[in-house]
Chain A
């Protein structure tokens, strides 16, 4: 199984709503990532989790709150978003670099298309 599964595929939410995005992988990867991709732009890294602990936060506003409850799951909790937060949110996972001395690559999910109204 080399899949990263993201749910939901599409989400429309109001600016006062609270919602969550979910990401799941069963490849035994211990690094997981959230990326944000605006239309016609490249993905931009938001958060990195290593061994279920937040290791990188790329100065993301607090209205985005990540959570990694176990080694297979990654959530992104959303609250009080703005219309400019509308984007494709991509989750990825990879082995931790250096494991067994091998370099690694990331596997991406299909993304959640978020629209904030």
Chain B
């Protein structure tokens, strides 16, 4: 069965510091992988996605992620965090019989940013 694991429930980083959020997936075939961000009480905004090709994916707001098949990972990174990046981050995998919105989400990582 497909699944997504985000090992870190909550991370705190200082403004200007680098960030890495971890995501591991379980899926037999080549996965479709996504990172979404959610501010409190809001909907989900897509940061970036991986379908195939180059394993380093660039997204919006200065985020990037690297797909590593050997480690079943799709970690999200940002070189310098801004206070406005504080939010909940969800990693997701496209589920079986995938259509664009049939997704399985990880438990999420809450990011806090210290001034």
Known contacts A109-B43, A111-B43: A56-B102 contact under CB 8 Å: yes
B102 in contact with A45 (CB, 8 Å): yes
Residue of B nearest to A40 (CB): B108
B41 in contact with A88 (CB, 8 Å): yes
> Which one of B12-20, B44-52, B64-72, B75-83 is at the A interface?
B44-52
B105 in contact with A42 (CB, 8 Å): yes
In the bound complex, residues from chain A placing their C-beta under 8 Å from that of B98 are: 97
- SS class, residues of chain B in contact with chain A: loop
- What is the interface size of chain A, counting residues whose CB is below 8 A from a CB of the partner? 33
User: Does any Cβ of B come within 8 Å of A21's Cβ?
Assistant: no
- In the docked arrangement, what's the CA distance between A95 and B43, Å? 19
Interface residues of B (CB under 8 A from A): 32, 34, 36, 41-46, 49, 51, 90, 95, 98-103, 105-108
A42 in contact with B43 (CB, 8 Å): no
User: Does any Cβ of B come within 8 Å of A7's Cβ?
Assistant: no
B90 in contact with A42 (CB, 8 Å): yes
In the bound complex, residues from chain A placing their C-beta under 8 Å from that of B90 are: 42-43
- In the docked arrangement, what's the CA distance between A50 and B98, Å? 12
- Selected from A32, A45, A56, A88, the residue in CB contact (under 8 A) with B103 is A45
